[in-house]
Amino acid sequence: MMQPSADDLWFVPLGGTGEIGMNLNLYGHNGQWLMVDCGVSFDEPLTPSYRRVKPAVEDRVDDIKHRVVAPDPKFIAEQKDALVGIVITHAHEDHVGAIPYLWQRFQVPIYTTAFTAEVLRRKLARSNLANKVPIIEVDGSESRQIGEFCVTWLAITHSLPEPFALKIETPVGTVLHTADWKIDANPITGKPFDPSLFKALANDNVLALVGDSTNATKPGFSISERNCYDGLLSTISPMKGRVVVGCFGSNVARLISLARVAKKTGRYMGLYGRSLINMYSIAKQQGVWPDDLPVVDPVHLGYLPPEEVLAVATGSQGERHTALMRLAADAHPHLQLDKGDCVLFSSIIIPGNEESVLRLSKALQAKGVTVIHSEDSPLPIHASGHPCEEELKLMYHWVKPAISIPVHGENVHLRAHADIAKACGVNKSYVGQNGDLYRLAPQPSIRRQVVFTGRLPVNQS
Q: What percent of the chain has pLDDT over 90?
A: 83
Q: What would the mean pLDDT of 205-211 be, rounded to a whole number?
A: 97
- Report the range of poorest mean pLDDT among 56-70, 269-283, 349-363: 56-70
Query: How many other β-carbons are positioned within 10 Å of the β-carbon of residue 81?
Result: 11
Residue 251 pLDDT > 70: yes
Provide the pLDDT for residue 67. Answer: 64
Provide the pLDDT for residue 56. Answer: 33
Q: What would the mean pLDDT of 226-233 be, rounded to a whole number?
A: 97
Reported as a single tens digit per residue, the pLDDT across 79-123 is: 999 999 999 999 999 999 999 999 999 999 999 999 999 999 999
216's torsion region: left (phi>0), alpha (psi -120 to 50) or beta?
alpha
Query: Sorting pLDDT into bands at 50, 70 and 90, what band is 460?
Result: very low
422 vs 448, which has greater pLDDT? 422
Q: Report the alpha-carbon distance of residue 320 to residue 325 in Å, rounded.
A: 6
| Cis amide prior to 442 (ω within 30 degrees) | yes
Residue 319 pLDDT > 70: yes
In 313-337, which positions are buried (b, 16+ CB within 10 angstroms) versus exposed (e)? Answer: bbbbbbbeebbbbbbbeeebebbeb
41 vs 448, which has greater pLDDT? 41
Q: What would the mean pLDDT of 250-278 be, rounded to a whole number?
A: 96
Reported as a single tens digit per residue, the pLDDT across 295-307 is: 999 999 999 999 9
In the predicted model, what is the mean pLDDT of the chain?
90
Reported as a single tens digit per residue, the pLDDT across 209-220 is: 999 999 999 999
Return the H-helix or E-strand segment holding 269. Answer: strand 268-272
Provide the pLDDT for residue 51. Answer: 34
Q: Report the alpha-carbon distance of residue 457 to residue 461 in Å, rounded.
A: 13
Residue 181 pLDDT > 90: yes
Provide the pLDDT for residue 63. Answer: 33
Query: Sorting pLDDT into bands at 50, 70 and 90, what band is 315?
Result: very high
Provide the pLDDT for residue 445. Answer: 58
Provide the pLDDT for residue 456. Answer: 53
- Shortest CA distance to 407 belongs to which of 1, 36, 30, 9? 36
Query: Sorting pLDDT into bands at 50, 70 and 90, what band is 320?
Result: confident
CA distances for 261 relative to 232, 234, 244, angstroms? 7, 9, 12
Residue 64 pLDDT > 90: no
CB 27 within 8 A of CB 33: yes
pTM: 0.90
Q: Tell me whether residue 263 is exposed, middle or buried, using C-beta atoms within 10 angstroms of its C-beta: 0 to 12, 13 to 18, 19 or more.
A: middle
Q: Report the alpha-carbon distance of residue 118 to residue 127 in Å, rounded.
A: 15
Residue 261 pLDDT > 80: yes
Q: Report the alpha-carbon distance of residue 344 to residue 312 in Å, rounded.
A: 9
Helices marked H in 155-218 — which ranges? 196-199
Q: What would the mean pLDDT of 32-55 be, rounded to a whole number?
A: 61
Say which residues have a Cβ less than 8 Å from residue 320's Cβ, sequence separation at least 6: 64, 356
CB 134 within 8 A of CB 146: no
Reported as a single tens digit per residue, the pLDDT across 345-386 is: 999 888 778 899 999 999 999 999 999 999 999 999 999 999
